[in-house]
Structure 1
């Protein structure tokens, strides 16, 4: 076998640091991911309002899919029979799949959590399903996910120390079972998830327990659930130092641009969030100058682009006036263009963070980011 045809091993290379911030590269069977990285959310095997080719054009190198939604519809076995998720959704690049735990806790009806797993009713048709750590890993294997997440219990917020302890310990037992059930293949990895709510001692115990089991990457879960940015940053400062430095660090479900910038400063490498796509569908655009609401009448006669210098079609081909018209007319093209813009903005932000870490100028980059955001949108015409 030639060297060129050797299977690619899953791995993480740390290319540089600036303070606690890290510049790295994740290698998978379906390509590499430059970190810090943002993963657009393709919950049901699609990034809403975007063609997969368009998502790639924004600079995205990895997408997130969801076990809960895909197991219910169209079914993991069906996706496997059709060639796996990459082929099914026409996305040849890497894919990470959420374990389904968060959706079971937040969307499913009449759920019952036991040591063996979770029994729940589908939010689609009320049918009864059972999800265990082993079944979650099996589903993700059938989907052909490059990064599989362990099944965990997403601890509700707020939670007492006793509640958070019990929940975290259950998640750690499930993490071991997920590891035992994972079928290791070249170019595919399994991530553990740190829990423990807002309690430093529990976060430390959880991180150390996962490190002793041994995973290809480590996620911080149970944040961005209403605790606020200040507490989230504190928890990261108390948690990330206990994660293995030679593995990627993933903050689940985050977030706003300022959340991402602050988390990168605290040692996080990977992010996902529905915010850029969901906001695009509600006429909210993210820009270097902050958030712009295209529903506002101030844009109706404005011939200028949404954001000067942005290479996305919303900015290179359309005026603010036209985007405003599309939004007010409830035309599908409007939400498509704003979704594209938001994903492009997020990818430009990540590229800027990577370049700043490489240059050792992250502090200046962050100061400039906050200054520009605080300055607000360009003045209205007239």
Structure 2
């Protein structure tokens, strides 16, 4: 079939994360109809994860195009740009304090960003509780989206914004994410100022990184007095079970971690011992570098679905920039096929360049600071 015009096309976005919602918002601002499908039962159905720093040259640029930059800054925490580097004894090695008025990388909770974007959309744009099972149909469209509830819809363009293990990606690429060899174990802390004043003082108002070459900790303040700590280890993907533990065995995991981090100071070990609730295992995966696929006029990928990389501060920003460029390409092109070509012409080289830069970057999270005091993590995060 001939590629339809964007104004008349049936466009379906899979995934109501920052990338998918940003794309939908910009499309609607240009008068283009779109439906977003997400597996969550509703917008608040689960914890959305930690804090995000939105950069002025990509994440903020996308929000400006979405007409939401002012609302973003009303929610953002500019003080969250503070970054500290400590050694395992808790000594301060490096400290970045944002200048007054600095807005290059303010922080916002992922859940707050999602709510902001959902509120900006026409009512009913997001269909909740729709888990995608498969994408079928010819490359030139239309595609049939089948959901696990037994329903199906047709789309002239399917936009895969469905993350690391994207089902949309399988329609155009056989690539699967590979385990990097580094795992995060997430720990949550509540009411920092009253329940954890020592840690509040140690971490400050932004983030703090500690590493000794083999293991690390990354603490990140969130809004509402909360904090997340990511315990960083080079371990097998099944390390919890391999040590005779299970995910609900908080005390057993804690005892194992204290043995692994033996020699770190009691002050820094509070990030392992004083958390509120269970740990959450988050092994790090990445797509092969470079990740490319044969062009399809009926499928486009953005964010982690297109270029899953180690979490070094670029993921959400690239996803939102992808979303912005794809939406604008659709608004400015005569056909869906032309728009996807235009989008991929800029997105694929950009993502390949960044993926090559960050390849193996999960290891940076474990490396001790260089002689100048700045960690490899901070160097990579500032690219």
Kindly indicate whether structure 1 or structure 2 has the higher relative contact order, using CA contacts under 8 Å at least 6 residues apart. Answer: 2
TM range (shorter): under 0.3
Q: TM-score, length-normalised on structure 1?
A: 0.27
TM-score (norm 2): 0.27
